[in-house]
Amino acid sequence: MTQDGLSAEIDTSRPHPARIYDYLLGGKDNYEVDRRAGDELAAAAPEARSGVRANRAFLRRAVRYVVGSGVRQILDVGTGLPTSPNVHETAQEVAPDVRVAYVDNDPIVSAHANALLSRSGTTSVVLADLRDPQRIVDHPGIRQVIDFDEPVALLLVAVLHFLTDEEKPEQVVATLREALPAGSFLVLSHATGDFADRSGAQAVYSNATATLNLRTRTEVERLFDGFELVEPGLAQVPFWRPDTPPPARSGEIGFYGGVARKSR
């Protein structure tokens, strides 16, 4: 166990969402169990691979937007494996002084991120669980690079759909929101079944370390309570401020994405 109460052992007996995502992105930091799950997911949802790529592209556009708006520190919760270009690389293309704290509950993510990320003092990597948001806010590894007296961009990208309703995702976001000062941003994306039947995709995650909990547009919008969505509001991720032509089957991509500002 780590000092955060999480197991530091890598469980290779069940697929993990971060490693499935890595596999669908074409990464190599995954195991056979994750690759099997990824292939099953792609069979159940033919646009899965283009969907995760579109979600990743949304993340990059959103990061450029918030940094371009003046934010110089980012808290990325549920970061996943550090696929390049990652958040701090994208942010520092816009402003080299941006600081980034990465958080994930998978020890393989923590191990790889610690090995690959800069140790210059502008990034930190923390093994912690979104289900305990106050511990994230209070964690010394977060406080090492994040000053909660200054605006922060909170990234919750493709992670809240791994919380069940009983785990109260709205309350989790509210706890994190309360730690953020005015001028902060929330960048959020979330899986949905609004555009196609995704019961087969949900079934793939039934044996994973976290289940897939699809939510409707109205339910995802509630996660932004206390923030003000910037244009174009909540959208399918390929259509949030696109800078390239949308990928094939964009209309079926089951991810909503949005960026919102905390005004007070």
For residue 3, tell me if it sits in a domain. Answer: no
CATH number at residue 35: 3.40.50.150
Cis ω before 85 (30° cut-off from 0): yes
Whole-number Å distance between alpha carbons of 193 and 105:
25
For residue 12, tell me if it sits in a domain. Answer: no
Per-residue confidence in pLDDT tens, the chain, 264 aa: 444 445 456 778 899 888 999 999 998 888 999 999 999 999 999 889 999 999 999 999 999 999 999 999 999 999 877 667 889 999 999 999 999 999 988 777 767 666 666 555 788 889 999 999 999 999 999 999 999 999 999 999 999 999 999 999 999 999 999 999 999 999 999 999 999 888 999 999 998 988 999 999 999 999 999 999 999 999 999 999 999 998 877 888 999 999 999 998
Residue among 75, 96, 86 nearest 152 (CA): 75
For residue 156, tell me if it sits in a domain. Answer: yes
For residue 5, tell me if it sits in a domain. Answer: no
Q: Which helix (H) or strand (E) holds 103?
A: strand 99-104
Domain that holds residue 79: 17-261
For residue 213, tell me if it sits in a domain. Answer: yes
In angstroms, the first-to-last Cα distance of the chain is 38
Number of structural domains in the chain: 1
For residue 254, tell me if it sits in a domain. Answer: yes
Task: List residues bridging with 229 in a β-sheet.
Answer: 260
Summarised one tens digit per residue, pLDDT across range 99-124 is: 999 998 877 776 766 666 655 578 88
For residue 257, tell me if it sits in a domain. Answer: yes
For residue 89, tell me if it sits in a domain. Answer: yes
Residues in Cβ contact with 75 at an 8 Å cutoff, skipping those fewer than 6 apart = 100, 101, 103, 136, 142, 146, 152, 153, 154, 155, 176
